[in-house]
Structure 1
Amino acid sequence: MDITEVPVTQKGKGKKKKNKSDKTKTTEQPAKMETDVEVKEEKTEETVSFPPAFSVSDIKNKQRRHLMFLKLKQDKRKQKMELKKKRKRQEKMLGSKAPPKQVPKTIENQRVYDETTVDPEDEEVAFDEATDEFSAYFNGLTNPKVLITTSDRPRGRTVKFCRQLATVIPNAHVYYRRGLALKRIIPQCVARDFTYLIVINEDRKVPNGLVLCHLPEGPTAHFKVSSVRLRKEMKRRGKEPTEHTPEVILNNFTTRLGHSIGRMFAALFPQNPQFVGRQVATFHNQRDFIFFRFHRYIFKNEKKAGIQELGPRFTLKLRSLQKGTFDSKFGEYEWVLKRHEVDACRRKFQL
Structure 2
Amino acid sequence: MLRRQARERREFLRLREQQQRLQRQQQRREQLRQALDENRLLPPELRREALKLQRELEFDPPGETEPGHHDDEYKWAGLEPPQVMVTTSRDPSARLRLFAKELCLLIPGARRMNRGRADLGALVGACRAAGVTDLLLLHETRGDPDGLSLCHLPHGPSAHFTLSGTVLRRDTGGRGGAPLAAPHLLLLDLDTALGRRVGTILKHLFPVPRPDSHRVVTFANQDDVILVRNHVYRRRGKEVELEEVGPRFQLRPYLIRLGTLDQGDAADVEWRWHPYTATARKQRLLASA
Q: TM class, shorter-chain normalised?
A: 0.7 to 0.9
* Distance in 1 (alpha carbons) for counterparts of 2:235 and 2:131: 38
| 2:186 is equivalent to residue 245 of structure 1 | no
Report the CA distance between 1:125 and its aligned residue. Answer: 4.9
Give aligned-pair identity as a percent.
32
Residue of structure 2 in register with 1:177 after alignment: 115
Residue of structure 1 in register with 2:74 after alignment: 134
Structure 1 residue runs of 5 or longer lacking an equivalent are 1-120
Report the CA distance between 1:237 and its aligned residue. Answer: 3.2
* Distance in 2 (alpha carbons) for counterparts of 1:133 and 1:264: 10
* Distance in 1 (alpha carbons) for counterparts of 2:63 and 2:186: 22
| Equivalent residue runs for 1:186-225 within 5 Å | 186-225=124-163
Residue of structure 2 in register with 1:317 after alignment: 252
* Distance in 2 (alpha carbons) for counterparts of 1:126 and 1:270: 27
* Distance in 2 (alpha carbons) for counterparts of 1:284 and 1:126: 29
8 Å CA contact 2:108–2:179 kept in 1: the answer is: no
Q: Which amino acid aligns with 1:137?
A: A
Query: For 1:262-311, what per-residue CA distance to the aligned partner results, in whole angstroms no more than 9, with x for missing partners?
Result: 1111111112x134441111111121100100000112333x31200000
- Structure index of larger Rg: 1
SS of the counterpart of 1:165? helix
Relative to the length of structure 1, the TM-score reads 0.60
* Distance in 2 (alpha carbons) for counterparts of 1:150 and 1:159: 8
Q: Which amino acid aligns with 1:258?
A: G
Residue of structure 2 in register with 1:257 after alignment: 194
Residue of structure 2 in register with 1:335 after alignment: 271
8 Å CA contact 2:169–2:175 kept in 1: the answer is: no
8 Å CA contact 2:256–2:269 kept in 1: the answer is: yes
SS of the counterpart of 1:283? strand
SS of the counterpart of 2:264? coil
RMSD between aligned alpha carbons?
2.2
Query: For 1:201-222, what per-residue CA distance to the aligned partner results, in whole angstroms no more than 9, with x for missing partners?
Result: 0110110100000011110000
* Distance in 2 (alpha carbons) for counterparts of 1:204 and 1:228: 14
**Which one has a larger percent helix, Structure 1 or Structure 2?**
1
Report the CA distance between 1:251 and its aligned residue. Answer: 1.2
Q: How many residues align?
A: 225
| 2:214 is equivalent to residue 278 of structure 1 | yes
| Equivalent residue runs for 1:74-153 within 5 Å | 123-125=64-66, 127-128=68-69, 131-138=71-78, 140=79, 142-153=80-91
Report the CA distance between 1:124 and its aligned residue. Answer: 4.7
| 2:284 is equivalent to residue 349 of structure 1 | yes
Relative to the length of structure 2, the TM-score reads 0.72
Cα 1:164–1:206, aligned 2, differ >3 Å: closer, same or farther?
same
